[in-house]
Amino acid sequence: MILLAFICYTVSIWSEKISGVLKTWHVVSFWRGLVFDITGTVLMSALSDDDSESNFLHLLTGYVSIGSMAFHAIIASIAIKI
């Protein structure tokens, strides 16, 4: 799941950068990446039975990253509507 997220993020960001224009499919690809990212993070969290502080910090940084990606996807979605 995380690899699929990476592929979707990379394709959408670099395609937009190279073309110089934000297109609908860039935003859709980014949203797909976000879904894969969330799915992968939830699955990894479910598989982990470690309740240590380092695991908490790892999860925290993962969720902060997902939040920033969600913010980016929302802003891109708004920009494509304008």
Query: pLDDT for 25-57, tens place per residue?
Result: 999 999 999 999 999 988 887 777 666 666 778
End-to-end distance of the chain based on CA atoms, in angstroms?
Answer: 31
Tokens 């913010």 correspond to 71
Between residues 9 and 61, which one has the greater pLDDT? 9
pLDDT given for residue 23 in this prediction: 94
Separation CA 26–CA 9 (nearest Å):
9
Boundaries of every domain in the chain: 2-81
This prediction has a pTM of 0.82
Q: Judge whether residue 61 has pLDDT over 90.
A: no
